[in-house]
Amino acid sequence: MKQEKILIIGAGGQIGVELTLALRKMFGNDQVIATDIREPHELLKDSGPYAILNAMDGHGTHALVKKEGITQIYLLAALLSATGEKSPHKAWEINMQSLIHTLDLGVQENLTKIYWPSSIAVYGPTTPHDNTPQQTIIEPRTVYGVSKYAGELWCQYYHQRWGLDVRSLRYPGLISWKSEPGGGTTDYAVEIYHEALKNKKYTCFLSENTYLPMMYMDDAIRGTIELMEAPADKLKTRMAYNISAMSFSPKEIAAAIQKNIPEFTINYNPDFRQAIADGWPKSIDDSAARNDWGWKHKFDLETMTTDMLVHLKEKMMQAV
């Protein structure tokens, strides 16, 4: 059996850093080549091979795949929801063209698997907001959501027409202590922990009762790898799978933090991201992922908050 060699495009992002480290632990450092348009993240330095690569450079990507004997690609490069609304044409170009380049490459080089993340941003105001099902009304109102839904359809098309094994998850908001958020509407749920420790206060850009689906990064990384390792015949959809762990509001995450830091205070100053959040689900039905390939989350709001604060305190002490 041929040994897998993995290329990660966009390894410096919020998901990419931790996914790279997890895959290197699983397959071996030299079998996972990390790339990004910028210099390596601090956590990726000296952990394995790294190359500067623009996700839009189809020729450069193809050359690297040929040179290194790549068998799998994880395409993580994207402009996220809030950033995308500031530069919609750029977001569409980056999010779509990088995917098409990769899918074509997958067919040309007969890659064994491709991973491409989708998002709950595919949903919109007309989608049922509570316990949003796998198959439902999908009418996104952001360029990020439009590009992700179009991307899901392209992934399904390449699987149906050429048998390309492309897999995807609709991530909820992701929360991590290791890497910084990348310009998404759910970024407040990462920022709030940093501010609670540094300044004991936080001004939230969403209103206090805005419920959104969320997930701790540990669960997201594990779920991604479990999907990629699942037998192909277990996968009932080649659109992206709904995946979730918890739903909470800014008011509730603040209360969880106050159990650990009683003096922490929060106030609210909603900005343009409020309208984006209002169009997204409050909670997600991920029963298809649970039934098809055994997805199961481990972290809830309380356990995540405890873990976040412990690790961020350690990180801050090391930086002093």
Residues noted as catalytic: 144
C-alpha to C-alpha distance for 101 and 57, rounded to whole angstroms: 8
Mention every residue, 6+ apart, whose C-beta is less than 8 A from residue 240: 117, 118, 122, 148, 152, 155, 168, 169, 170
Q: Residue 55 is encoded by which pair of tokens?
A: 């996700």
Report the relative pairing of strands 246-248 and 212-216 from DSSP bridges.
antiparallel
Sign for the CA dihedral angle at 271, 277, 282, 283 comes to negative
Q: Residue 222 is encoded by which pair of tokens?
A: 């594990």
**Structural contact between residues 55 and 154, judged by C-beta atoms closer than 8 angstroms:** no
C-alpha to C-alpha distance for 267 and 207, rounded to whole angstroms: 9
* Closest-CA residue to 25 (of 6, 10, 52, 41): 6
C-alpha to C-alpha distance for 106 and 97, rounded to whole angstroms: 14
